[in-house]
Amino acid sequence: MGLIVQKFGGTSVGSPEKIISAAKRAAEEKQKGNQVVVVVSAMGKSTDELVSLASSISSKPSRREMDMLLTTGEQVTISLFSMALHELGHDAVSFTGWQAGIQTESVHGNARITNIDAEQIQAQLENDHIVIVAGFQGADERGSITTLGRGGSDTTAVALAAALKADKCDIYTDVTGVYTTDPRFVKDARKLEAISYDEMLELANLGAGVLHPRAVEFAKNYQVPLEVRSSTARENGTLIEEEARMEENLIVRGIAFEDQVTRVTLRGLPNKLSNLSNVFTELAKNGVNVDIIIQSLTEGYTSSLSFTVNTSYLEDAMDVLNSQKKKLGFEKIESEKKLAKVSIVGSGMVSNPGVAAEMFEVLAEEGILIKMVSTSEIKVSAVVSQEHMVKAVEALHEAFELSKKGAAVS
């Protein structure tokens, strides 16, 4: 007998019929003799509806109260899912995140899991119950309800799989696996049979929405066997493992992109060794994540510092920086919206020089201006105008022949 963790996203539980279908998947694993833990998201677009509801009350609602509101979405799903399993003849019990023992840091809206006390879940599994857990949520040490950010149900599932030492974690979604890029934008996108933790982590961090980055981090750190698969189609998905199976001549594995990018620039910043530390410490203390960073030293005593943030955090970033203007000493602050980030990812890039040059050449031939660049051993990212994002992705997908099997893996 094994232990299987299954996660069903919002589209997979978007209606009573879909909940019943997902419950049948859980029942099938139980009938194979496995213990089963199911993690679910809120139904369909219900989280967006709750956000809209809050917006009708307040233009800038409290993050704590938003957590109180948004966690109700998953609570609806867990109860209905448990009812569906009962109707199928299986004992089941539902838990909110905090009832399941998920402990987080005290950050509202984007908390990290710090510990999981799985005693309650273990007890129910030993009593032959299927356990249904609300994804996306937990509680801090003071008992305040917290959320893990968009896609946090993935993190809940993999973290529970790690804590329970599960044999496998299956992520059920509305696609059949991980693709070379988003098939909704590029019709020739190809499903990958396997991908490494490192490549998947890069893709997730760079905008690929199929998995939450923190979920991949947990999977890598605790060596959790992970598979992304369809909640409707009966076929193999994409295995995420330590070292993906080699495909011939593979250099680039996939392309990720995101369109909610804003560049923030501080001008007239004093040339001090502590400048970078001071700026990014203040932003970090206020929960503002930054991405690409470029510092331009100028003659004299000042410099310019540019970095990107998700557009949804622009107002927070501006508030923090303006409140610390005297301490930081910059002359003025500027922002540029309507930007996008396009990234190529592949472990094969480590041993193949010239990949970045080829990417830049492709974009130049398409007349796409690159505004900022960031690289690592297995990725190259370029910030471009939002209006050119899809054009850039299509051109790069074709240039690196990602639609051909064996043309772009690690």
User: Looking at the domain assignment, is residue 29 inside a domain?
Assistant: yes
Residue type at position 50: L
User: Looking at the domain assignment, is residue 303 inside a domain?
Assistant: no
Q: What is the pLDDT of residue 174?
A: 86
User: Looking at the domain assignment, is residue 144 inside a domain?
Assistant: yes
Least confident of 51-55, 183-187, 245-249, 333-337: 245-249
For residue 338, how far is the Cα from the chain centroid?
Answer: 21
Q: What is the pLDDT of residue 388?
A: 97
- For residue 86, the enclosing domain spans 3-174
Q: What is the pLDDT of residue 312?
A: 93
Residue whose pair of structure tokens reads 């937990």 in the numeric block: 138
Higher pLDDT, 7 or 212: 7
How does residue 89 score in pLDDT terms, banded at 50, 70 and 90?
Answer: very high
Residue whose pair of structure tokens reads 């994540």 in the numeric block: 289
> Does residue 409 have a pLDDT over 50?
no
The pLDDT tens digits for 98-116 are: 999 999 999 999 999 999 9
How does residue 321 score in pLDDT terms, banded at 50, 70 and 90?
Answer: very high
Q: What is the pLDDT of residue 1?
A: 76
% pLDDT > 70, the chain: 96
The pLDDT tens digits for 191-207 are: 999 999 999 999 998 98
Q: What is the pLDDT of residue 407?
A: 42
Q: What is the mean pLDDT of residues 385-399?
A: 97
Share the mean pLDDT of the chain: 93
Q: What is the pLDDT of residue 406?
A: 53
Q: What is the domain-level CATH number for residue 87?
A: 3.40.1160.10
How does residue 9 score in pLDDT terms, banded at 50, 70 and 90?
Answer: very high
> How far is residue 211's CA from residue 169's CA, in Å, rounded to a whole number?
13
Q: What is the mean pLDDT of residues 272-278?
A: 87
**Bridge-partner residues for 376, per DSSP?**
379
Distances in whole angstroms, Cα of residue 144 to Cα of each of 108, 115, 139, 140, 297: 9, 15, 5, 6, 44
Return the structure tokens found at 264: 């923030």
Q: What is the pLDDT of residue 288?
A: 94
Q: What is the mean pLDDT of residues 223-245?
A: 88
Q: What is the mean pLDDT of residues 66-85?
A: 97
Q: What is the mean pLDDT of residues 238-247?
A: 75
How does residue 353 score in pLDDT terms, banded at 50, 70 and 90?
Answer: confident
User: Looking at the domain assignment, is residue 73 inside a domain?
Assistant: yes
User: Looking at the domain assignment, is residue 361 inside a domain?
Assistant: no
How does residue 3 score in pLDDT terms, banded at 50, 70 and 90?
Answer: very high
How does residue 56 score in pLDDT terms, banded at 50, 70 and 90?
Answer: very high
What residues have CB less than 8 Å from 183, skipping those under 6 apart? 175, 189
Q: What is the mean pLDDT of residues 138-146?
A: 96
Total tally of structural domains belonging to the chain: 1
Q: What is the mean pLDDT of residues 264-276?
A: 90
The pLDDT tens digits for 203-215 are: 998 988 888 888 9
The pLDDT tens digits for 78-88 are: 999 999 999 99
> Does residue 372 have a pLDDT over 50?
yes
> How far is residue 265's CA from residue 304's CA, in Å, rounded to a whole number?
7
Higher pLDDT, 350 or 177: 177
Return the structure tokens found at 102: 């998920």
User: Looking at the domain assignment, is residue 313 inside a domain?
Assistant: no
Q: What is the pLDDT of residue 410?
A: 29
User: Looking at the domain assignment, is residue 253 inside a domain?
Assistant: no
Stretch (H or E) spanning 246: none
User: Looking at the domain assignment, is residue 401 inside a domain?
Assistant: no
Contact 261, 322 (CB under 8 A): no
Radius of gyration of the chain (CA): 22
Q: What is the mean pLDDT of residues 371-377?
A: 94
HSE-CB of 47 using CA atoms within 13 angstroms: 27
Q: What is the mean pLDDT of residues 24-48?
A: 96
> How far is residue 23's CA from residue 332's CA, in Å, rounded to a whole number?
56
